[in-house]
Amino acid sequence: MSETTYRLDQRRAPLYEALAEYRRSRVVPFDVPGHKQGRGTPELTRFLGRECLSVDVNSMKPLDNLSHPTSVIKEAEELAADAFGAGAAFLIVGGTTAAVQAMVMSVCKAGDSMIIPRNVHKSAINAMILCGVTPVYVDPGIHPELGISLGMRAEDVEAAIKAHPEAKAVFVNNPTYYGICTDIRRITEAAHAAGMAVLADEAHGTHFYFGEGMPLPAMAAGADMSAVSMHKTGGSLTQSSLLLMRRGRVNADYVRTIIGLTQTTSASYLLMSSLDIARKALATEGRETFRRVVSLAEYARGEINKIGGYYAFSREIIDGGAVYDFDVTKLSVNTLKTGLAGVEVYDLLRDDYGIQIEFGDMGNMLAIVSVGDNHYAIERLVAALSEIKRLHGKEGLKLLDHEYITPVVRMTPRDAFYAPSEPVPVRESLGRITAESVMCYPPGIPILSPGEEVTPEALEYILYAKEKGCLVMGPQDMNLDNLYVVK
């Protein structure tokens, strides 16, 4: 996508420009924050830098207000909408979690149902708790060799739409954490024909809008709303995100009102300006940027696969159904044939080699390759993986090789979450209805969600994840000795 295809001047970064002017104006602050441009917190200022602290400011007339933008923030959002091919865009400072929750709450109310893949991020589950939505789960299926959950097959979604015409929306991962994409255009057409909205979690798909040969992004597919983690692959600061929408089915003013229910009224100008600057870079340099990222990822895949035991998978797993497309920037690696769980490789890389990858689960690991990487870093990763296999690889180790847990829904997430509950030892929870979520994080895909029965499969997975050292989140008991279940 070239710069000339845009309606607006994508070389502009109005919010960044306004902050730069604020810094030059040498305003004397008698407002919050209390550190007063870093003067009151010398240790913090030394750590983060005076340039950073000088623009950690509060909303004021020249800098606009995120809750009711009328000037530079409004311009920044209009530029973002233009860059992503959306009808409207909202700067989000509560992470893509806040964007996902705003999407769901904008189209669903208490008592409504939503068609949703089971391998969603916990933010979608929490959104259903917040607004009382009943999930209609679509089984994304499991890859027989990799043991990872896939995408929803379009025909399965169409069957769910036919079986649940009352549903208000269809929720789609585009892509999954592992880079798996669904046929989002066909799903969108089917949903719209039934009068349903389409909501896309594109937390890991920012680059779809700017790279060459990428899977189809949600806005181009006609989806109604999309939550985009700019900080993951777009270059903005952690916790900054965008909520995109097409105009027509959903009212933009209503969406901003919904965002205001949960988003802070003290929005960080560091986060917002990073979105503005990152959008500018993506729109003006994105094509070349992601051409280089793809080249690095493809090189890494080839070198890792030469080691043996590891399988860095790519577009060869596309089957036109549950794997409709694949994001080639994702360096997803199956570790099962080395005799090591993905989380074990994750720990070894960090503890023994000083390499921090994104996550490891039961059978896979994910390394994020971005514009900040180079061939030296890739070679270091490849060399470490080779040595880990040589030193720690095992033969005949029994590993749990599935990722998807078939849910047995007994109550809505909201009813179970707020129901009277009691703690029971995890090993004694079999057959009970959980009042809380249980998930390995990352990627944050629930093993159990509130309202679901603790099945033998789910219990086995929880105990195995704990044994392997996965960060298991959700339960009140952080040691995961007990699980709260509905009384």
- Same domain for 252 and 322, yes or no, is no
- Same domain for 111 and 68, yes or no, is yes
Q: At what angle do helices 252-262 and 95-107 cross, to 10 degrees?
A: 130
- Same domain for 320 and 305, yes or no, is yes
Cα–Cα distance for residue pair 130/126, rounded to 1 Å: 6
Using pLDDT thresholds of 50, 70 and 90, give the confidence band for residue 254.
Answer: very high
Mean pLDDT within 297-323: 96
- Same domain for 139 and 73, yes or no, is yes
pLDDT of residue 191: 98
Report the number of secondary-structure helices (H) and strands (E) in the chain: 16, 18
Mean pLDDT within 143-151: 86
Say what the pTM is.
0.92
Lowest-confidence region among 27-31, 114-118, 244-248, 443-447? 443-447
- Between the alpha carbon of residue 442 and those of residues 56, 127, 346, the distances in Å are 29, 18, 12
- Domain assignment present for residue 258? The answer is yes
- Domain assignment present for residue 238? The answer is yes
Neighbours of 130 (CB within 10 A): 17
- Same domain for 276 and 296, yes or no, is no
- Domain assignment present for residue 403? The answer is no
At 108, which CATH number?
3.40.640.10
Of residues 383 and 444, more confidence is placed in: 383
Q: The domain containing residue 120 runs over which residues? A: 3-283
- Same domain for 186 and 270, yes or no, is yes
- Same domain for 108 and 219, yes or no, is yes
Q: How many residues in total does the chain contain?
A: 487
- Domain assignment present for residue 405? The answer is no
- Domain assignment present for residue 461? The answer is yes
At 330, which CATH number?
3.90.1150.10
- Domain assignment present for residue 224? The answer is yes
pLDDT of residue 404: 58
- Domain assignment present for residue 299? The answer is yes
pLDDT of residue 110: 94
Cβ neighbours for 230, distance < 8 A, ≥ 6 positions apart: 206, 236, 240, 241, 242, 274, 275, 278, 279
- Same domain for 276 and 303, yes or no, is no
pLDDT of residue 399: 53
Tokens describing residue 190: 């089917």
Q: Which of 283, 306, 328 is the last residue of a domain?
A: 283
Neighbours of 258 (CB within 10 A): 20
Mean pLDDT within 430-445: 87
- Same domain for 337 and 272, yes or no, is no
Q: What is the mean pLDDT of the chain?
A: 93
- Domain assignment present for residue 319? The answer is yes
Q: Which of 363, 392, 421 is the last residue of a domain?
A: 392
Mean pLDDT within 116-144: 91
Tokens describing residue 54: 């000088």
Q: Percent of the chain beyond pLDDT 90?
A: 83
- Same domain for 378 and 452, yes or no, is no
pLDDT of residue 1: 40
Of residues 185 and 372, more confidence is placed in: 185
- Strand 113-117 with 241-245, pairing: unpaired
At 432, which CATH number?
3.90.100.10
- Between the alpha carbon of residue 379 and those of residues 13, 258, 358, 368, 371, the distances in Å are 36, 46, 17, 14, 16
Q: How many domains are contained in the chain?
A: 3
Q: Which of 283, 306, 321 is the last residue of a domain?
A: 283
**33 preceded by a cis bond (ω within 30 of 0):** yes
- Same domain for 422 and 379, yes or no, is no
- Same domain for 112 and 200, yes or no, is yes
